[in-house]
Homo-oligomer: A and B are copies of this chain.
Amino acid sequence: MATNIVWHEASVSKEDRREKNDHGSFCLWFTGLSGSGKSTLANALAKYLFEANVQTYVLDGDNVRHGLNKDLGFTDEDRKENIRRIGEVSKLFVDGGQIVVTAFISPFREDRQQVRDILNENEFFEIYVNCSLDECEKRDPKGLYKKARNNEIKHFTGIDSPYEAPVNPELVVNTESQSIQESVKTIVQFLEEKGLIKSGISNGI
């Protein structure tokens, strides 16, 4: 095997990787309230794309907050730095030919804009995972809203800290009126329409 590989010194470009992977590389930036379903949706999307041989990776609280960003707290400055670093890591994954899906509340427009600014056109897609505060609070999968209402957590988005909804997101999915499966389909079809992945991939959803 490997007889067609020959020696030559050079580095691999982002374009080389995209061509080899046979799909684009970009960041799908999910933003929305706690409990809106960002992480569930991101993982379901990644799983579906994985089965379709599309290189996809999810960045969320599970793999970032206890690792890269474990030195950061929840002050304004630290929240800003949290998003900045996630943006920079996303850029590395995009450079590496991957689709990176980020699942963070990322409540402030300015912070999301800064991530958009470090990526090229067609490398950053803001996806608003829309779900009413009432519904998120009803779901309360981690019991955080209850704690926030009891003042056990301070600066909780939607309770005593603002959430700035996207003004012109590339896509909106509504996890209150749509199932996760329907939301994944909406996103995969969006990627097909943009020519970022091969058409037909959404057929199995």
Contacts and interface: CB of A to CB of B under 8 A. Distances in A.
Interface stretch (A47-55, A106-114, A126-134, A142-150): A47-55
A10 to B, nearest CB: 5
A203 B3 contact: yes
A17 interface: yes
Interface residues of A, number: 57
Q: How many copies does the complex hold?
A: 2
A204 B6 CA distance: 5
Interface stretch (A56-64, A156-164, A170-178): A56-64
A167 interface: no
A68 B85 contact: yes
Interface string A1-18: 111111111111000110
B95 A96 contact: no
B204 A53 contact: no
Interface string A171-193: 00000000011001000000000
Contacts of A20: 50, 53
A59 B204 contact: no
A53 B53 CA distance: 13
Interface in A1-50: 1-12, 16-17, 20, 40, 43-44, 46-48, 50
Given A16-B50, A67-B118, A68-B89, 12 more contacts: A6-B204, A7-B204, A9-B44, A9-B181, A11-B58, A12-B43, A20-B50, A55-B97, A63-B95, A64-B92, A89-B89, A89-B92
